[in-house]
Structure 1
């Protein structure tokens, strides 16, 4: 960000804030009926008031609004008004210097830029603002059904979440990096399908800490099945924490990338492949956990949010997850491309150039990589190594089939 003097900064912020207060979005009873097909009598009127109150809290004043081709509205919000600064201990603590990138970090030649639909026509947010996907009444209603994430060490385990992933554990890790293959899987009903990196503080007899990032297809939440950039975090074994900027936690710093916004282009079966580098790492200077996607530093999770992750991670995972509450047999929701890993390149989803970050802030190969899949006849994973992709996995599957009833 580039600013002038302190007086200039406060003058600009004051003028922009006064102007943007005119555009803090709420919705009318007519909007509510149109979006949800309901009347507002009785409890519905009470629900509308509650939802409007929530919208006012989430959708802060903005400077500029951008209509995305997929129907999203991206608001350019003043940086200091984002949700994380609702936490008193974070308020006013702006990042004064950029994070220190891991040594050996070089995306040249092996990473594509992350592209999103909302800025495909060259739109961008002004300096001093961040792009935030506007929350609608429908989002709040669907959030009540949003698929809760679970740790694989939960007892009892969650039967509605299935995974296929590669992992390294029992170490001291200060981050991870992988190039994730982007797809548009078929997703049924209220299911979701995703591909991501997990950075976990997974200590015996203590609730897991996690920071996560990748892409997710969740049509019942987003009204389409486009893959969308997401982040997630939890400080206590998935009992709390949240996606993107849905609650205070992640501090967004990029003016070019919006969490929750659709990614385009995507890979095609037996055709062009599109992958993007995701990197999560612990900045040696601030101790915060930063996220970089493609060539853009997106923001960070403050170390103060966590217990075990205040130090280091113990487990790194790369791969896919499907959430489904389908009780009439296995879901037909696809993971990755919807094809199994044995089909290989251009047909199955992959995560390649799998790396971890060590104590010296160096990127090194994710050695001793292991794999895991709860139901390999539904979704499976295979690992490999070569001199170009280094450590990699192919993963995914079609879900319901004669072998996956």
Structure 2
């Protein structure tokens, strides 16, 4: 069940009783982005001038069945924004960026240059650590991993630039955060222009990202989820620097969602110099041992591939023009292989592009600390 009702002349409310999510259809010119001091006189670009071409997903079904859309659509000239619930608290680690720098167990070392991508957490990722990147693409398998309270599990793309202390980053994918309701994998974006210190946020929780689509709500539950040994679902995610206005456009499941204006960034104004794909788990170690928060499907890729471990397919980059290509010389970073692992799958590359399987259960006989 659900409702569709007019709350004012310029705002409509859509509500799904099955997920208890409330969506406000907000005038596109009254969205949070325009509270940013650098965007006061911003002119909205409704569509990018070019797009990456979508890649097929084989036998996997795309998942963008947000429950609120069963009960209506936002009127033309508005965008959907999920209404915060009074009991909803954002994830403590990501919501307080200063804590990222208090944890000294980062990936890599000063010499490898890779730690500027990652701060707190456990990772199973592939990445390119040096380049001139104008975009990235992937098809991401959607699951509903078990996540302990105060922790989180992410499957996403990162595009970053700049030194570690002031890194600029754009991130997109899905996350599970039990601190918010309803529980389950939710579509998310994130950005920062100063190393997570003062700028940036998830979705539309602060001024910055300019949404143009009335079809997709950020931060909303994705349905259905993949099941172990059963049907698999995924989402396609594209992030591309678009000419001639130099804005970073987000495309989800072939829908142009909106963009990050270049004014939000310093190092990312022109390009990204690092890109990564894969999973992250926040490990607070509250029980004095490694967390049992799961990544991906909650199963290691050594247990089996399709229908068992989670996957990324059609991984590609844009490094010139408006077309994607396969990344070459991908590096792999797995912080604790017994807890979460990653295997690049070369066997099906001709059909699925660059693809890999990743994830794991966290604490287990193989993952004790």
TM-score normalised by L of structure 2:
0.86
Cα shift at 1:351:
0.6
1:236 corresponds in structure 2 to 194
Alpha-carbon spacing, 1:82–1:287, altered in 2? closer, same or farther (3 Å): same
Residue 161 in structure 1 maps to residue 121 in structure 2: yes
Q: Which residue of 2 aligns with 1:374?
A: 335
User: Is the partner of 1:121 in helix, strand or coil?
Assistant: helix
Aligned to 1:136: 85
Q: Return the match for 2:178 from 210, 219, 234.
A: 219
Q: Gapped runs of 5+ residues in structure 1?
A: 1-15, 21-61
Q: Could you say if the C-alpha distance between residues 192 and 205 of structure 1 is closer, same or farther in structure 2, counting changes exceeding 3 Å?
A: closer
What SS is found at the alignment partner of 2:312? strand
Aligned partner of residue 248 in structure 1, secondary structure:
coil
In the alignment, is the contact (CA less than 8 A) between 2:310 and 2:357 conserved in 1?
Answer: yes
Matched, 1:404 2:367: yes
Among residues 56, 64, 84, which one is paired with 2:33 in the alignment?
A: 84
In the alignment, which residue of structure 2 is the partner of 1:145?
Answer: 92
Cα distance in 2 for partners of 1:120, 1:265 equals: 14
Paired residues of 1:68 and 1:117 also in contact (CA < 8 A): no
Map 1:279-294; keep pairs closer than 5 Å: 279-294=238-253
* Paired residues for 1:37-48 under 5 Å: none
Q: Does the 8 A contact of 2:16 with 2:71 survive in 1? A: no
Equivalent-residue separation in structure 2 for 1:212 and 1:349 (angstroms): 19
* Contact 1:252–1:298 (8 Å) recurs in 2: yes
Distance 1:185 1:297, change over 3 A: same
- Larger gyration radius, structure 1 or structure 2: 1
Alignment length, in residue pairs?
Answer: 344
Q: TM-score, normalised by structure 1?
A: 0.79
- Asked if 1 retains the 8 angstrom alpha-carbon contact of 2:301 and 2:341, the reply is yes
2:65 maps to 116
More helix by share: 1
Match of 1:330 in 2: 290
2 CA distance for matches of 1:150 and 1:377? 29
Secondary structure in structure 1 of the residue aligned to 2:29: helix
After TM superposition, give the deviation of residue 356 of structure 1 in Å: 0.1
Deviation at 1:114, TM superposition (A): 4.0
1:3-402 map, 5 Å: 19-20=9-10, 62-102=11-51, 105-107=53-55, 113-139=62-88, 142-143=89-90, 145-148=92-95, 156-157=104-105, 161-201=121-161, 203-204=162-163, 207-220=166-179, 222-240=180-198, 241-327=200-286, 328-342=288-302, 343-385=304-346, 386-402=349-365
SS in 1 for 2:34: helix
Structure 1 residues 167 and 151: CA distance shift in structure 2, 3 A: farther
**Cα shift at 1:119:** 3.3
> Paired residue for 2:109?
none
Would the alpha carbon gap of residues 278 and 144 (structure 1) be closer, same or farther in structure 2, given more than 3 Å must change? closer
Alignment deviations for residues 369-390 of structure 1 (CA, whole Å, 9 cap, x no partner): 1110111111111112320112
Q: Any stretches of 5+ residues in structure 2 without a counterpart? A: 1-5, 107-118
Q: What is the CA-CA distance between 1:89 and the residue it aligns to?
A: 2.9
SS in 1 for 2:92: coil
Q: Aligned partners of 1:344 and 1:299: how far apart in 2?
A: 33
Residue number in structure 1 paired with 2:110: none
- What secondary structure is seen at the aligned counterpart in 2 of 1:119? helix
Check 1:323–1:205 CA distance in 2 against 1; reply closer, same or farther (3 A cut). closer
Distance 1:154 1:297 in 2: 37
Is the CA contact 2:292–2:362 (under 8 Å) kept in the aligned structure 1?
yes
CA distance in 2, matches of 1:68, 1:166: 39
